[in-house]
Amino acid sequence: MVETAPNLISPPLPAVWPRFDQPLGLGVMASGNGSNLKAIAQSIHQGDLHAQIRVVIYNNPGAQVAARAARLGLPAVLLNHREYASRVALDQAIVATLNAHGVDWVVMAGWMRCVTAGLIDAFPGQVLNIHPSLLPSFPGLKAVDQALAAGVTVAGCTVHHVELAVDSGPVVMQAVVPVVATDTPASLQARIQRQEHRIYPAAIALAAESRNCT
């Protein structure tokens, strides 16, 4: 389908992207497709986001993100949550893997598991998530379906710092898209994802720059 709906509010990307003393060391956590991983990698490759993806962690064997990581030449580690006795034990393994790869910033890109304090506290203020709604509206699963069911006329996506409650924490950046009468969950999700791919690299840079300035 040809996309005819205009972008309602697309925050501008930085005219000049921040440079850091060292490239940001990113650890990307994903459960599924990995299109946000690809967008972040492209932004780095283009010289916009001053970062390196040091490791990709995924929890579902066979997830598309593993193949994407391989195509991008990135190390990928499967930590299958089904093999851990608890969320705490899984997160201990995640933290150990992130530390072993020299990660500074944890970037959850379609990570569909609740996280524990052990992960959040290991990277204070440096754990980010993206969610396909205008938080605080529609946290949790099937956010796009929730938005359509509620009859909203605008939807969007949010990059935020991660706190313990699901899809909560200070907002770093949001983008807003229109909802049109003919929208299905798939068409609206595709429109939102185009904005996710624009804002996530910029939001990582903004979050890191803000931290540098404090």
Q: Please state the residue numbers annotated as binding site.
A: 34-36, 87, 129
Contact segment (CB under 6 A) with ligand GAR among 30-38, 74-82, 172-180, 205-213 equals 30-38
CA-to-CA distance for 42 and 57, rounded, in angstroms?
18
Nearest to 101 by CA among 128, 82, 74: 74
* Residues of span 158-187 touching ligand GAR by CB under 6 A: 167
Q: Which is nearer to ligand GAR, 27 or 132 (CB)?
A: 132
Q: Which is nearer to ligand GAR, 7 or 33 (CB)?
A: 33
Angle subtended at Cα 201 by Cα 174 and Cα 50, rounded to the nearest 5 degrees: 145
Task: Select which of 50, 81, 101, 131 is catalytic.
Answer: 131
Q: What is the 3-state secondary structure (H, E, C) of 21-76?
A: CCCEEEEEEECCCCHHHHHHHHHHHCCCCCEEEEEEEECCCCCHHHHHHHHCCCCE
The H-or-E segment that residue 127 falls in is strand 127-131
Kindly state whether residue 196 participates in binding ligand GAR, applying the rule CB under 6 A.
yes
Contact segment (CB under 6 A) with ligand GAR among 15-23, 33-41, 51-59, 206-214 equals 33-41
- The answer to whether the beta carbons of residues 123 and 44 sit under 8 Å apart is no
Q: Binding site residues for (6R)-10-formyltetrahydrofolate, as ranges?
A: 87, 129
Which residues bind to ligand GAR, rule: CB under 6 A?
Answer: 30, 32-36, 109-110, 130-132, 143, 157, 167, 193, 196
Active site residues: 131
